[in-house]
Structure 1
Amino acid sequence: MPPVERSERELLESIIGEAGDRGHARPGEGLAIETRRLLLRAPTAADAAVIAELADNPRVAQNLLGMPHPYRIGDALAWIAEPAPANGQKHLVCVRARDAAPVPIGAVTLDHRRGARLPTLGCWLGEAFWGRGYSTEACHAVIDYAFLHQGHERLSFHCRVTNAAGRRVIEKCGFQWAGQELQASVFHGTVVAVDRFQIDRRTWESLRRWEPLRFVEDDGDAAWPLQGGRRPAEV
């Protein structure tokens, strides 16, 4: 049965209600990243049902090489349980809601595992949240953190050749086309054609115009802009 389409408002209200019933998931150890509209934080087991609801959609899975379909709570729990990659990133993307806890809408990662030659950026959102610039905003934050704080010199992004929306997002982030290859797709059960994109530090420095990042402590009380790749000496 195809997923029932729900508006962004309906999905937000549903998720906010469920979060209130089970208790809002804490950001977890370390820092979260705050942008103009979003909070990027570590996923927890309390987020599994929401992640599964957002991801269990063939229109989401068909463009992601490693996402299974159907996508169940067990899949979400397995992903949450995976440790963040060394010198990488793994965030739940949450939109800040007025008078409510930030609402999960998808995920963004920077992964240097699975034999990748370069740290690879990945992002997906629930369909109800497409077309609002959230993907671009989340990717900007991860790219900034990768260059400023993690010391990376070059990042990559892999996008199915049929994924025009993904290509637009990554080109707005300054990535440049670097070739094409075949990669295995869990959803399709075969290999699919993929465009490769890359951005290096010099290009990022020349193009960056978006707002500075803000870190938010686990308790939500302290925040500051990210400057020069280091936390301030005192908070």
Structure 2
Amino acid sequence: MTQPTHHEPHDDTLGTRLNWLRAAVLGANDGIVSTAGLVVGVAGATSERSDLLTAGLAGLLAGSMSMAAGEYVSVSTQRDSEKAALALEKRELREQPEAELEELTELLEQRGLTREVAHEAAVQLTRRDALRAHARVELGINPDELANPWHAAGASFLAFTVGALLPLLAIVLPPASARLWVTVLSVLTALTFTGWWSARLGTAPVGQAMARNVVGGALAMGVTYAAGSLLGAAGV
């Protein structure tokens, strides 16, 4: 009796979604570390809740806006490059279709197909949608999913803000006697989690990623707290 065939679902956007998720984790991590370093540094100089809140909010807004602006510029440049590459490919397909067919055949050969199979595949792909075929095989671009700078900017802004809220709330909500230790423990716990998550997304060793994250965050807080304490003691 013939067994039913089970087809594993394939999604061409999986890699894109993983990249976005990885970027979100890294953005949140940046928000945690930078804001924690800022508020802990201020805490070394003063215990006034209003000062800590002002510094934390300023760091959150400055960091999130900077991340969003940087991501917008970066992705806009990427999108412009992709559009220019597609425009050039479209012109080459119009002006020298035979050369482009041969190029597509060679690219498919390099992926392990025989010459005959590669040529037949290139012919069929060209008949169906020549530009799409060259965009995917030659350029590694999906014409339907060009990078969106506004999406990237919004995602970076949100990720950084979410990460920055943790140390900000941890430093202003507890009583003065506990806020520093609550902040440090909260931040190190969060960094352990983001280190684990980023390692899993990148299929990297989990222990090393978590250790790097925690040590880096602890070092940042230690340095800024020491600087804040020295400046506070000097009355600056």
Q: TM-score, normalised by structure 2?
A: 0.23
Pick the structure with greater CA Rg. Answer: 2
Which structure ranks higher in relative contact order (CA pairs < 8 Å, sequence separation ≥ 6)? 2
The structure with more helix, counted as a fraction of residues: 2
The structure with more strand, counted as a fraction of residues: 1
Q: TM-score, normalised by structure 1?
A: 0.23
